[in-house]
Amino acid sequence: MGPIERVAVIGAGNMGSGIAQKSAQEGFSVQMVDKEEGFVKRGMETINGFLNEAIQRRIFSENKVERIISNISLGIGVDSIRKDTDLVIEAVFEDIDVKSSVLNDLAASCNHETIIATNTSSLSVEDLASLSDRPDRFIGLHFFYHPAKNRLVEIIPSSSTSSETIQSVTQYCGAMGKVVILCKDRPGFVVNRFFVPWLNEACRLLDEGLGTPAEIDNVAKDCFEIGMGPFELMNLTGPSIALHSTDYLASQLQVDRYKGADSLRRLVEEGIQWDLAGVSGELSYKNKKEIENRLLGVVLCISSQIVEEEICAMEDVDRGAKVGLRWPMGPFEIANNLGVDVAYGIASDYAALAGFESPVILSERGSEPFEFKLIDLEVASGVASLTFNRPEAMNALNEQVITQLTDIWKGLEEDPSVHTAILRGSGKAFVAGADIKFFVDKIEDDKIDDIREFTERGHDILNAIESSRINTIAVMSGLALGGGLELAMCCNHRIGVEGKTMLRFPETGIGIYPGLGGTQRSVMIAGVECARYSIIAGNWLDSNLAFSMGYLTDVVGYSGLEKAISNIVCGKVDHPNHKYQPRNPEDKLIKQILETFGDGWQNRLMDPASGLGPFEERQSKFIVRNAPVSIKMASELIDIANQSREDPAVGLQSELDGLDTIFSTKDALTGLRGVLSGKRVQFSGE
């Protein structure tokens, strides 16, 4: 089974058009199909509306939008589906009879090799698979609204879905930058299993007179640290959807507690929305606490059931809440924040109300907090696959990630059967640098020694990867920033994806310098001039420029990614050694970089009044807005890398030696705070 390249989406409504739009944005050839011409035209109008808005907000250029639209074709009726389609996604109305009719028609219209996926938020994938003529090539997908914006997707295999189908669909979702939760086929799957009862519990609280919709929303927003409460969310997505979903869960799981609350049922019958106009009065402490505990209890209790039923891991439950619902913390992080023993008490009280068993996963830990696996590891046939799985934080490196990576790597080194390690990132990024909040907290607490210790540990594991007997491959199919790029440079092979991979050292623009070997290995790989262009000016590098410099050892289309990895694993590709010069010095842009950032670059670029050409002027503007101390120290470290070629350890130690100085500057704290706030800052040079 080859990679998915051609996709058809059946249904041109909000979900179908959104799936088609996102697929086209990521370079797939997409056919959007519905039963009437008016439906597909309306779906295309919806897509055009979103894309025009993206142009106005400067998210996409007009040329980019033209390319996206050119990837979409329209079809009337399922018999119009192209025979070479790799994946058909059925995204019609959430009704078993409607979906079964479509699946019956697809059996006659599709090539037997085509994978068929049903986009469903609630229906049994097992039941739908039994209606398909290709149960091994049938799978469930649950895209979250809006599919072009929400990064979460739940993948639900049936008992007959082949591993090849799971792999192909997972790769397709990965190509779109989606965060994937692979879960068992149980009612509500993962997120809706706890989210829908949470909405209904809010309505029950209203029925019991514990607060108005506005008051309950306010308590929920404070308790969960979210922007919208349950009633406002229902108004946004439609109260009828909430009622349908909660009644479905009640019937499928045979839980009376989930039956739609009386107030919700009346609201839907009347065809109106919740009245959120103001707060009627100050809630009593007793009522506020009851609301908090009930809303927390339903989430904590049901999330525990999800893990106990082995629908997915607790990390995926939290991931679903943070990515799919945009909550700042997932249920098990909330439990840690409350104290696991306190969380158990709250969950047990809700379990008693609902007639459930008390959650074992909470009771067995006592007061010990949960520990989360942030790197997924699979080993097969001597190949270890490591996936950094913090997509809500762009897989940023923190203390826990460094510790887990160190422990994993030690285990791989001790296993003589492991000959290759593949490093990937979940979602849109490979690894987007280090955790900025960690740096800010340590500076504010006057604990810069902790930053040095963290960085030293980072140096140790990166050095271990670089010097390992294991052949290493960094799959950089998205963003790689700062520490993520530094990690990748330690690998033998660094594969980028055309049109998706973007690299950058942003450090001098936030008041610091690359401290995990970046100032040294960039010189080793691409030469001193390219290192200055990348680090001092902080330029973005697309896949082609990064390949010409040497940061990437290969660039492929997404459909060719697995083949490129396979060739390396099979020993068909030798990894290049450090060259201290760009791979392609004859490239037009590389020539400009070599000329601009050669000897005397500081005199030319740091004096804007010196009469510069267009390229030099642009680079000068980049540099002068960065932190002066960062520029000075990074420049010195780059020079050390160039001068100590016989002993690279000299420069690596120099990076560590400068940490106390750089993190003690006012500019470092200003710049790092600016990242957290999303605001551009001005540096004082102090």
Catalytic residues: 121, 142, 154, 192
In this structure, what is the dihedral angle of CA atoms 178, 179, 185, 189, given to the nearest 10 degrees? -110
Chain centre distance of CA 318 = 13
For 526-538, give one letter per residue: b (16+ CB within 10 A) or e. Answer: bbbbbbbbbbbbb
Distance CA 260, CA 57 (A): 40
**For residues 185 and 140, is the Cβ–Cβ distance under 8 A?**
yes
- The dihedral of CA 422, 425, 428, 433: what is its sign? negative
> What's the longest Cα–Cα distance across the chain?
79
Q: How far is CA 417 from CA 186, 382, 469, 614, in A?
A: 37, 5, 12, 54
The 8-class DSSP code of residue 435 comes to: -
**For residues 299 and 320, is the Cβ–Cβ distance under 8 A?**
no
Angle at 336 between CA 334 and CA 342, to 5 degrees: 90
* 647, burial (CB in 10 Å: exposed 0-12, middle 13-18, buried 19+): exposed
Question: How many Cα atoms occupy the beta-carbon half-sphere of 357 within 13 Å?
Answer: 9
**For residues 641 and 523, is the Cβ–Cβ distance under 8 A?**
yes
Residue 200 three-state SS: helix
**For residues 253 and 302, is the Cβ–Cβ distance under 8 A?**
no
For residue 184, report the phi and psi dihedrals to the nearest 5 degrees.
-75, 160
For residue 118, report the phi and psi dihedrals to the nearest 5 degrees.
-105, 125
Distance CA 627, CA 509 (A): 6
For residue 9, report the phi and psi dihedrals to the nearest 5 degrees.
-115, 120
Distance CA 369, CA 362 (A): 10
**For residues 656 and 456, is the Cβ–Cβ distance under 8 A?**
yes
Chain centre distance of CA 100 = 33
Length of the chain: 686
In this structure, what is the dihedral angle of CA atoms 301, 304, 305, 309, given to the nearest 10 degrees? 180
Beta strands in 413-492 (DSSP E): 420-425, 429-432, 471-476, 479-481
Helices and strands in the chain: count of H runs, count of E runs: 31, 18
